[in-house]
């Protein structure tokens, strides 16, 4: 039996096809004709763009608009003056061959993205890798792709790129396994979208099995059984059928209001990054949006989004949710999330530096554009706004003062806004949790951001393999801070939610329910299962 990280739930029984990586050999050879080399690059970029357009069309058909949107960012990367410009400069200034220039520049971009704590930014690393590999293959005149012709195929690979997963035929590929990756890697996210089991981080699965081997994939426990006996096959055939019945049965909860056995009403909401993501949340019966990460509006572009652009995005989500609560987080940029058009100072420890609310209170001009857009959009639904990275009451009061300025401006301009907006904070710094009882006198709600709260509490970077064993959501210190936050809110009649990964953790949900958490917000695919767990709690 082989063990890995269960990244997408389900069971599968099928035969192996190993995805062979195409050999990309790159030399240090210098070129004499720089213009000719740049022309080679231009042709490879054009071919790559045409290929991605076709992949996008297939993804749109198979996985929907929100997942096809990733290939828009691939095309934007091919046109990004910072990325492509750096490659051209490397060729021009150092007479570097095009392949070497692409590899060197993409490696530098990859190193930046892979070291980032933010989930979205880590996913961008997969995009950079995918695009740069495509350019390299086109420069070398080689082809890459997965041709699956057999039903009940289990795809085994070192890793899968966004392009690989987008082209998988769900009718033939019933599961996949990779050597590397984690639950938040792009391939894992795509597997959950395709609703096929996947196990990642298996280290050596490509060398442990061979084409044609019969495998059982247990996407619940993260186990793979190679060439099982008849008795084991029959056992898992029953599990496959039972799991299908379970998934179908969960759909009955789409319209159900989530209450514990004792009658406590709990909201199960969805996290989104782009306005289009709202559709998946609605399909899964969410009680609202618990986190709209607005920094997505600022990324993949070369200038700040206008007030009108932001207004339209917020309005769209509020209208689609038809009066259900929508919690929008103000700009959380800085630290590990940088914008090419917004230079920020270099810092020794950017995670504890100039970011989120700290940046917004310094750059009031940027902050006010967003706040005005939010206020204007508030008349179209049930808006709640939260400020990230709050460490003290003073920061919250300063942010509210800027809100008041924006209200006064809009009123003088004759523009409407709702007076019913709730203003809260993300509790992701231990200081805020410790001071929750005092902060709750002034805020309308708390939303616990466990991703940062855990790593700040335990001084353990969750992206560092060497200390990942310390990153434990159920550590007594973390649980104590969570309970302190919930109690602080309730002491003053305020509600408390959670929007970090822990909110969708099936093992943590019972404890959080017992603590009195009022709202759980998570990825759309986790909503129905979370509802089921909560309904069965006392």
The Cα–Cα gap between 425 and 345 comes to: 25
Strands (E), 394-456: 422-427, 445-448
- Which of 186, 360, 406, 496 is flagged as catalytic? 186
The Cα–Cα gap between 447 and 470 comes to: 23
Task: Give residue for tokens 């090419």.
Answer: 340
Task: Give residue for tokens 């909503």.
Answer: 527
Query: Crossing angle for the helix pair 34-63 and 81-94, nearest 10 degrees?
Result: 160
Burial label, 327 (beta-carbon count in 10 A; 0-12, 13-18, 19+)? buried
Q: What 3-state DSSP class applies to 388?
A: coil
**In terms of Cα–Cα distance, which of 116, 117, 124 is closest to 455?**
117
- Which of 360, 406, 435, 499 is flagged as catalytic? 499
* 460 in Cβ contact with 511 (< 8 Å): no
- Cβ neighbours of 96 (radius 10 Å): 23
Active-site residue 499, yes or no? yes
Rounded (5°) CA angle 341-347-350: 80
Task: Answer left, alpha or beta for residue 403, where phi above 0 means left and psi between -120 and 50 means alpha.
Answer: alpha
**What's the N-to-C CA distance of the chain in angstroms?**
37
**In terms of Cα–Cα distance, which of 266, 340, 275 is closest to 303?**
340
List the 198-200 sheet strands across, edge first: 2-3, 223-226, 214-218, 11-18, 153-157, 173-178, 198-200, 5-8
Burial label, 422 (beta-carbon count in 10 A; 0-12, 13-18, 19+)? middle
Active-site residue 490, yes or no? no
| Bridge partners of residue 8, in order along the sequence | 198
Q: What 3-state DSSP class applies to 496?
A: strand
Q: Provide the annotated active-site residues.
A: 186, 499
């Amino acid at each position: 039996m082989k063990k890995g990280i269960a990244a997408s739930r389900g069971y599968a029984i099928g035969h192996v096809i190993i995805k062979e990586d195409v050999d990309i050999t790159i030399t240090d050879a210098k070129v004499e004709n720089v213009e000719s080399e740049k022309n080679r690059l231009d042709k490879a970029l054009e071919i790559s763009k045409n290929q991605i357009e076709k992949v996008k069309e297939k993804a749109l058909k198979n996985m929907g608009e929100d997942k096809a949107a990733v290939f828009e960012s691939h095309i934007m990367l091919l046109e990004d003056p910072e990325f492509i410009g750096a490659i051209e400069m490397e060729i021009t200034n150092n007479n570097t061959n095009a392949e070497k220039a692409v590899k060197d520049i993409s490696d530098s971009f990859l190193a930046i993205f892979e070291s980032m704590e933010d989930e979205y930014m880590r996913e961008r690393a997969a995009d950079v890798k995918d695009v740069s590999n495509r350019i390299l293959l086109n420069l070398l005149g080689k082809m890459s792709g997965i041709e699956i012709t057999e039903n009940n195929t289990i795809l085994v690979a070192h890793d899968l790129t966004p392009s690989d997963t987008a082209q998988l035929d769900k009718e033939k590929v019933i599961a996949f396994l990779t050597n590397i990756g984690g639950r938040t890697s792009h391939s894992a996210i795509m597997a959950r979208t395709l609703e096929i089991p996947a196990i990642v981080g298996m280290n050596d699965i490509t060398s442990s099995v061979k084409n044609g081997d019969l495998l059982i994939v247990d996407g619940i426990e993260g186990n793979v059984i190679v060439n099982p006996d008849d008795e084991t096959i029959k056992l898992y055939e029953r599990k496959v059928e039972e799991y299908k019945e379970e998934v179908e049965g969960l759909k009955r909860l789409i319209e159900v209001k989530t209450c514990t056995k004792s009658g406590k009403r709990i909201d199960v909401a969805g996290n989104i990054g782009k306005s289009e993501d709202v559709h998946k949340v609605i399909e899964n019966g969410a009680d609202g949006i618990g986190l709209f990460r607005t920094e997505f509006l600022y990324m993949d572009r070369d200038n700040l989004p206008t007030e009108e652009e932001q207004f339209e995005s917020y309005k769209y989500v509020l209208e689609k949710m038809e009066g259900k609560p929508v919690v929008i987080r103000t700009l959380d940029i800085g630290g590990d999330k940088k914008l090419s058009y917004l230079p920020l100072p270099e810092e020794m420890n950017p995670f504890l530096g100039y970011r989120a609310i700290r940046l917004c209170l310094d750059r009031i001009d940027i902050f006010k554009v967003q706040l005005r857009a939010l206020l204007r959009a508030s008349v179209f639904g049930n808006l709640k706004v939260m400020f990230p990275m709050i460490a003290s009451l003073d920061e919250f009061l300063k942010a509210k003062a800027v809100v008041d300025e924006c209200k006064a401006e809009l009123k003088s301009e004759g523009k409407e806004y709702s007076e019913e907006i709730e203003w809260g904070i993300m509790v992701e710094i231990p200081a805020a949790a410790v001071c929750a009882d005092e902060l709750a006198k002034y805020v309308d709600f708390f939303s616990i951001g466990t991703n940062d709260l855990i790593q700040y509490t335990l001084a353990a970077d969750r992206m560092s393999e060497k200390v990942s064993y310390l990153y434990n959501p159920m550590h007594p210190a973390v649980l104590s801070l969570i309970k302190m936050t919930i109690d602080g809110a309730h002491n003053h009649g305020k509600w408390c939610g959670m929007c970090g990964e822990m909110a969708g953790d099936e093992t943590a949900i019972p404890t959080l329910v017992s603590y009195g958490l009022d709202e759980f917000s998570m990825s759309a695919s986790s909503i129905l299962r979370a509802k089921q767990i909560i309904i069965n709690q006392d």
